[in-house]
Structure 1
Amino acid sequence: MTETPLDSTTGLPVRLLHDRLLVREDADSERRSAAGIVIPATAQMGRRLHWAEAVGVGPLVRSVENGDRVLFDPEDKAEVEIQGRTYILLRERDIHAVAAKRVDNDGTGLYL
């Protein structure tokens, strides 16, 4: 399981409110093509969504749990630094997809 981020001033665990998610973006900024060619992060290929790991969820979040990978639009993000690490704060409605072992393939999805 992922460790809970702590506030850098008080050292207390961060508790998210309402439908907020705290995620840590994947550190790998370079991508590889199917043939193994490295595509640098500076190469622009149109609008591209990013994956991140959820490290904190608010009490009203229904579709995401800590440790899930979520797909989001990087243009809709708000960054926050906690203990020297950069996290992204999102609303649940800004998440496009969830990748987790508990996700049911037969479900139709959750519409908010």
Structure 2
Amino acid sequence: MNVNDPEPGLPIRLLHDRVLVRLEGNEGERRSAAGIVIPATASVGHRLSWATAVGVGPHVRSIVNGDRVLFDPDDRSEVELHGRDYILLRERDVHAVAASRVETDATGLYL
């Protein structure tokens, strides 16, 4: 699979600087580090979300398929493909990338 291709079987080709991501886990409730379940109604303040990149457009420079990305869940476009929900973002809307290939001493990329 090409690093710019989405998950196998997805009938799309992303354009420009778009990133298609799949949310990790249940968006509503979450678990604390100690294993305590925190319901969605207990959400306090503005919280960013993690997702996994499953497709990237040809002009995306800092993200490849499989990277975990941090983004604002209030600023997103949702799409359903083959009965599964995905989120479409622009690369500039991604706040951070977590991947083993990210160098710890490298500077950030400003868009």
Quick check: TM above 0.5?
Answer: yes
C-alpha distance in 2 between matches for 1:59 and 1:94: 16
**1:8-63: CA deviations, max 9, x gaps?**
xxxxxx11000000000112332222333210122221100000000000000000
Shift of 1:3: 2.9
**TM-score w.r.t. length of structure 1:** 0.87
| Runs of 4+ residues deviating >4 angstroms | none
RMSD across aligned C-alpha pairs, in angstroms?
Answer: 1.6
Match of 1:6 among 2, 5, 10: 10
C-alpha distance in 2 between matches for 1:16 and 1:43: 36
Shift of 1:5: 4.7
Count of aligned pairs: 106
Gaps of at least 5 residues in structure 1 are 8-13
C-alpha distance in 2 between matches for 1:5 and 1:75: 28
Match of 2:57 in 1: 58
Gaps of at least 5 residues in structure 2 are none
Q: After superposition, where does 1:1-112 map in structure 2 within 5 Å?
A: 3-7=7-11, 14-29=12-27, 30-112=29-111
